Structure 1
Amino acid sequence: MSQSLVTAVRIDVPDEILVGGRWRTGAGPVLEPVDPATGEVLARIHGASTADVEEAVAAGERAAADPAWRDLLPHQRARYLHRIAELIDANAEQLAGLQTANTGKTLTETRALVASAAGTFRFFAAALETHESALTPSRGEYLTMRVHDPIGVVGAITPWNSPIASDAQKVAPALAAGNAVLLKPARWTPLVALAVGRLATEAGLPAGLLSVLPGSGSEVGDAIVRHPGVGKVSFTGGTETGRTIGRYAAEKIMPVTLELGGKSPTIVFPDADVDHAVAGVLFGIFSSSGQSCIAGSRVFVHESIYDTFVPRLVEATQRLRVGPGTEPGTQVGPLVTVSHRDQVARMVDTARAEGGRVLCGGEVPDDPELARGSYYLPTVIDGLPNSARTSQEEIFGPVAVVLPFTDEDDLVVAANDTVYGLACGIWTADYRRAWRVGRAIQAGTVWVNTYKQLSVSTPFSGTKESGIGIEKGRQGILSYSRQKSIYFGLNERPLPWAGIG
C-alpha cells in the first residue's frame, strides 16, 4: 500500500462514533485498526462503552416510536434507503480504499463489495415499496389479515471479513421494516461502518435510527445482546459466539438471526469441465484469502481423476499472485491480523502432525516486500481422512484439504459428516446428478458449476451449527418484523355465546 493512501485514511478518520444520532468520542477503550499489508496503525478511535449502548438504545426507542418515522408510508421510508445507496455509489472509491486499508482485501474485491452494499439498499427500498400485507382465507363471519410491525430496536453485529456488505445486509432490511439499528462492527475493522454511518447521516436519516458502536464483543456486543430494550439481534461470526448469543436470546425470548461458521464441501465429478472446476475451486477457497464463511475448504475429487486434477489444482494455486490489496494483479491479500495468520499456520502444523501432505504453500512467504504484512501462502493439503481435525474445523484462511471419493452415496455421507451446513459446490455435466446430490447435501446454499456467486434477491441461510434464520431476499424484511393478525367481524347478529339478540 502506498504511504499516501495510509496517510489519507488516518487523517480522514476522526475519533468519533455515532451514538443515538450524535457524533462524539466514544467512552470505551481506544481501538487501533491496522493495515494488514504493512502493519501500520490507520487510526486511533475510542470505541463504545456500555453507557454508550444504553444511550443508543434509549435514542433508538424514541426514534422508532416517533410518528415522524413510525407513520411514514413505505415509499416514503424507502427514499432514505435510496439516498444512502446513491451516497455509497458517489463515494465508492473512497469506501473501497478504506476497506482495503483496513482488511487487506484487494481493491477489485472491495469495489465489488461497495457496489453490493449500494445494491442491497436499493433492493430493500424496492422490496419495501412493493411489500404487501395479505388477506388470509376466511373461515367464518370475519375478514382476516396478516400484517407486520417493526420490532423496535435491533442489534446488528457484523464480522471483519466483509464489513460493508455485511453491514448493508443487516441495516437496510432492518430500517426498511421500520426499526432503529445498533450496528456493532468488529473491533479490528470499524472504519467502513463508521463511514457508512456518516453517509446515513448525510442522507437525512432521522437521528437515533442508526448508531455505530465499535468495540469488543465481550463488552459492546454483550451489552447490545443482553439489553432488555433490544428486541432482536442479527449476528454474523463464529459459532461459539453464536451459541452465547442464542443462550441470552433464550432468556429474553428474543428472535435472532445467526450466520455462523462453515466447512463447505466442493465436489468434482469425473465428467466435470476441468478448467471450470479448477477455476471454481480456486475462487471458492482462496478469494478473500480464505477468510469467508462459505469458503469451499473441503475439496472432494473422484478417484478416477484425482491424480490428474490435484496436480492441476496445485499448479494453479502456486501461480496465484500474493501481495497487497492495492496492487492491480493481486489475487490473495494478507490475512486480517498477524495473530489470525499465526492461528492459520498452527492449523496447518496440526495437519502435518495428523499425517497430511502439504502439496503447496503451508508457510509465510519469504518475499522481503511482504515481511511487514500478515501474509500466508495459499495451501493445498491431502493425505488426510475426512475425520481429521483439519478436515473438520473451520480454519478461515487460504487452506484447502483435498479428499478422494469413489461412490456417490458414500460421498454424500462424507460431505454431510460435519457440524456445519452452510454451502456446497458441485462440478458435473450431469444435471440429474447435480439435482440429486444438491438435494441430499445439508447446506443452505448449493452452487452447481459455479461457486461463491451471491444475490441479494436470493435468501441466504445455514443449517446445523452454521446458523439459523434468513438474510437477503424479500424474507429479509420479514425477519426484522413482528407478525400480527387482524380480524374484522362481519356478522350481522351478536356473537351467540352471550345469549344477546
Structure 2
Amino acid sequence: MTHSFPNGHLFVGGEWQAGTGAEIVSVFAAEGTENMAFKGASREDVLTAIDRAKAAQSDPAWRDLKPHERATYLYRISEAIAAEVDRLSWLQSRDTSKTRTEARALVASAAATFRYFGAVLETSDDLMTASRGDYQTYSVHDPIGLVAAITPWNSPIASDAQKAAPALAAGNAVLLKPASWSPIISLELARIIEQAGLPKGLFSVLPGSGRDVGNLLVEHPEIGKVSFTGGTSTGRHLAHVAAEKLMPISLELGGKSPTIVFEDCDEDQAIAGVLFGIFSSTGQSCIAGSRLFVQRSIFDRFVAKLVQATKALKIGHPFDADTQVSSMVHADHREAVEGYVQQALDEGGEILTGGARPEGVGLDDGAYYRPTIIAGLDNSARTCREEIFGPVLVVLPFDDEDDVIAMSNDNDYGLACGIWSRDHRKCWRVARAIRAGTVWVNTYKQFSITTPFGGDGASGMGREKGRAGLRAYQRQKSIYEDHSGAPLGWARWP
C-alpha cells in the first residue's frame, strides 16, 4: 500500500495552519532522501497555541467532565491509533529509519498507553482521610493546567503518548514539541486526536528548535508543568528554568547502562539479551546496555561468542522484514557516533568488530553503521562514561559482585541495568545495589505501561507510566469540612 505524507501544516490550538517559523526538513536517512519540508512553529505560533490551550482547559465543557467522561476520549484515541498501524508505522519508519517491525511495536505501544490511562482514570479515587477532630478531611486532585511535552526523535509516537495520555487524562491541555528530526508522526497523532473529538485547543503539535519553541514553552508563565525526554545537558537547563518558576518538571534523560554477565549465566540467553539491549534500534536508545561487564572467568569465551553473533546481525533497509540493524536517524548523528569510536581508539581501545560503515547494495546512500564492540578500555575512559547513542558496546571484565557493583555505579547516569545469572538471590542483591531506575534480570528492554519508568542522577528525575503517572500531571488539594457547627474557640465569638 502506498502512503502519503501530511501536508505540512501545524496543529496550533486545534486549528491546522501553516507554520511561520524556520523550515524543517524531514529526511529518510536509510536512503539519504528527503521526506518533506515545511515551516515549523514560530514564537507567534506558540503564543497562539498557549492562548487557545488556556481557554480550552478552563472551559467548563472540559474542566467539569467527570473522570469516566474524559476516559472516553482516551479510548477513542487508542482505537483510532490501533486502526492505523500500517500507515503510522510507515511514517515512523520514514521519519526515523527504524525497522517497520519496531515501528509497528511503537505504534501499538502508543495505542495501549492511551487505553491504559483511560482505565486508570476510571478507576482512580480521591481519598477521604482519617479525621483528627470534629471535621471531615478529603484529599482531591486537580489538573495542573497547561503542560508542555517535549519528546525525542528516537521513538516519537510512543514518547508522545507516554506524556500526552496521562496529561489529558488528568484534565490538562497539552502542547507537544516533537524533535525536528522526527516531526511527521506527531502531526499524524494530532490528526487522530482531532478525529477522536477532543475539544479544540486542548492539544497542539509545535515542531521547531529547542531554542525557538522549547525555551518559550518552558519559560512561559502559563505553562504549569514540563515533561521532557532528551539529552542531559538540555535537561539541566530546563531544570534551572523550572526552579526559577517553582514549576514541577519530569526529566527522562540519557544513560550509560551497565549489563552484567555472571559466570553462572545461561550464555546463549545472555548473548541474545546483550545483542538486543545494545544493537536493537541501532543503539539509539536511552536505555541501551552500552557497558558490558563480563565475569573474568568467562570473559574471553563469552566475548568471542558475542563478537561472532554480532557479525551475524542483518544490516539492511528498514522496510526489509529480515533487517535487525537499520540506518541511523541522520547522517550528522552517524558522524557523532564515529567521533566517539575514534575517541575510543585514541584512548587505547581495540575494535573487536564493526567500527566502520557497511558496504553493499542499498547501504551506501544511507546513514548506516556497523554494530561495534570495543575492548581494552578502563571504566574511567570517556567512551565508558558518556552516552554515545549508537550501536557501540564497550566490554570490560570484573571479578566479583562488589567489583561489578562499584564499577556499574561509578557513572553519573542511573537509568537502567541488565543482570544475567541463574542465581536468583544474587540477582536480587545486585539489582537492589545498582543505582538505576529500571533493572532487568535475565531479560532486557522489556516494558509495561503499568510499571513506573525513569532515572536517577544524570538520567533525570520523576517517573512516568503506572497508576502514579496520572498523578504526576495533577495538583493535590486537601479540604477540611467542619461538622461541629461551633465557631473556632480562639476568636471567642460570639
Q: TM-score range by the shorter chain?
A: over 0.9
Distance 1:15 1:359 in 2: 44
Pairing of 1:32-431 with structure 2 (within 5 A): 32-431=25-424
> Which residues of structure 2 form unaligned runs of 5+?
none
Deviations 1:10-67 (A, max 9, x none): xx32020000110010111111100011111101111001111100111000000000
Distance 1:56 1:357 in 2: 52
Q: CA RMSD in A?
A: 0.9
Asked whether 1:460 is paired with 2:460, we answer: no
The amino acid across from 2:175 in the alignment is L
Deviation at 1:461, TM superposition (A): 1.4
Q: Please, which moves more after superposition, 55-64 or 133-142?
A: 133-142
Distance 1:110 1:140 in 2: 56
User: Secondary structure at 1:400's aligned position in 2?
Assistant: strand
Deviations 1:175-202 (A, max 9, x none): 0000000000000100000000000000
Instruction: State the identity as a percent.
Output: 58
User: Secondary structure at 1:439's aligned position in 2?
Assistant: helix
Distance 1:192 1:124 in 2: 21
Asked whether 1:490 is paired with 2:488, we answer: no
Distance 2:484 2:429 in 1: 52
Deviation at 1:369, TM superposition (A): 2.0
Q: What's the TM-score, normalizing by structure 1?
A: 0.98
Distance 1:63 1:437 in 2: 49
Deviation at 1:492, TM superposition (A): 4.1
Deviations 1:365-390 (A, max 9, x none): 12242011000000001110000000
Deviation at 1:260, TM superposition (A): 0.2
Paired positions, count? 494
Does the 8 Å CA contact 2:317/2:362 hold for their aligned counterparts?
Answer: no
Deviation at 1:351, TM superposition (A): 0.4
Asked whether 1:441 is paired with 2:434, we answer: yes
Distance 2:406 2:353 in 1: 28
The amino acid across from 2:327 in the alignment is P
Does the 8 Å CA contact 2:9/2:17 hold for their aligned counterparts?
Answer: yes
Distance 2:131 2:395 in 1: 56
2:473 match: 480
The amino acid across from 1:84 in the alignment is I
User: Which 4+ residue blocks in structure 1 deviate beyond 6 angstroms?
Assistant: none
Deviation at 1:137, TM superposition (A): 1.7
Deviation at 1:136, TM superposition (A): 1.5
